[in-house]
Chains A and B, each alone.
Chain A
Amino acid sequence: MNSQLQGTLIAVGVVLLLIVTALLAKKRVPVRYSIFWYFASAVIILVGAVPNFIGIFTKLLGFETTSNLVIGIIVGLLLLITLLLTVIVSDQRRKIATLTQEISINKSSEKDIKEQENNNV
């Protein structure tokens, strides 16, 4: 890995770190999700700052060059984030369904159902 790529990686990692910190400060991101993003930026900075550390893994994991491994690591992080998002979305889908059901039942039973039930009897 050449020094330009090292510099780019460190810069990207630091910018990501700053963005996450700013979002956290404005409370746009809850702490529990920010931790993952801090972890991601730490990985990117580490890869840039200590190229020897990652160099060992290049051949070990079957990558031709260290820069390919860097891309691999970033793709891996993205996959992980997407997977986490899928879990979060499914959880929220369930919660929204419950809310929709409960609100709809309450709204309906307030007005027509009771009248209609009385009519039926």
Chain B
Amino acid sequence: MIYKVLIVIPAFNEEKSIAKTCDSIVKYNEVNGTKYDMLVINDGSTDQTEEILSKNGIPHIRLLNNLGIGGAVQTGYKYAALHDYDIAVQFDGDGQHDIAFIDDLVSPIVNDKADMTIGSRFVSKGQSGFKSSFARRTGIKMISAFIKMKTGKRIFDTTSGFRAINKKLIRTFANNYPLEYPEPISTTEALLNGYRVEEVPVEMKEREEGKSSIRLYKNFYYMVNVILNIIIVRKGDLDE
């Protein structure tokens, strides 16, 4: 069976890196003989992102308003559900993620070992790459502890935006996906509702261009929000 895979790339003001990111996927397909489709979600960018996407013929959806990362990624899932994709991969448009690891993310799903895979900087291998700042790592550890408390499973790289989901989760997330702090919250929701979530070691690069959606001065506010959100997640939240 041939799996239909869609790479969803949320992009907000990524004019400097988006063409390079998409180019890396095209090259990957050429070299490896894969047929991964990609779809950039232009999340209401105010820079030249839209022009670059159109000029280079990159498949994309232009969101009429800026919805934030959660709303943008969910748009990709809606599209994937609509076009009957088997696997959707979330991939950042800022050059942080390395497409070379995509098969590591996709194969546990193809082999039905997991419903969701998370590209993780903190599980074996991948020691040479970018691991983020101390403050950020501490935050990620705290979120990890709360997810463990809530679901019984330890997820190390809770905020990683390099992840893949299977068809069932595509359909679920298309209808129901957190607008705020989507990565840790959707992971918690998936775990609580009995989906199998596995971490896969990947290496990440430091952002080349653009700003992280989690800025330093917002870190504390971010942590409080995420932890509260994790605490209130309940089984059945993903049902309609």
Question: Which residues of chain A have a CB within 8 Å of any CB of chain B?
Answer: 93-94, 96-97, 100-105, 107-109, 112-113, 116-117, 119-120
Contact = CB atoms under 8 A, between A and B. Distances in A.
Ranked 5 nearest A-B pairs via Cβ: A108-B61, A116-B59, A101-B75, A97-B71, A104-B63
B64 A113 contact: no
A51 to B, nearest CB: 43
Nearest to A117: B59
A112 B58 CA distance: 9
B74 A93 contact: no
> Is chain A's binding surface mostly helix, strand, loop or mixed?
helix
Contacts of B74: 97, 101
Given A100-B71, A105-B61, A120-B37, 4 more contacts: A107-B62, A109-B79, A112-B60, A119-B57
Interface in B34-64: 37, 39, 54, 57-64
Interface in B80-129: 82
27 contacts: A96-B65, A100-B63, A100-B64, A100-B65, A100-B71, A101-B63, A101-B78, A102-B78, A103-B64, A104-B61, A104-B62, A104-B64, A105-B61, A105-B79, A105-B82, A107-B62, A108-B61, A109-B61, A113-B39, A113-B59, A113-B60, A116-B57, A116-B58, A116-B59, A117-B37, A117-B59, A119-B57
Contact of B75 (A96, A105, A120): A105
A97 B79 CA distance: 15
Nearest to B65: A100
A120 B59 contact: yes
B179 A93 contact: yes
B64 to A, nearest CB: 5
A109 B67 CA distance: 19
Contact of B179 (A97, A102, A108): A97
A105 B62 CA distance: 8
Contacts of B54: 112
Contact of A94 (B59, B61, B75, B179): B179
A92 to B, nearest CB: 12
Nearest to B82: A105
Contacts of B62: 104, 107-108
A101 B64 CA distance: 8
Contacts of A113: 39, 59-61
Contacts of B82: 105
Contacts of A97: 67, 71, 74, 179
Contacts of A102: 78
Contacts of A101: 63, 67, 71, 74-75, 78
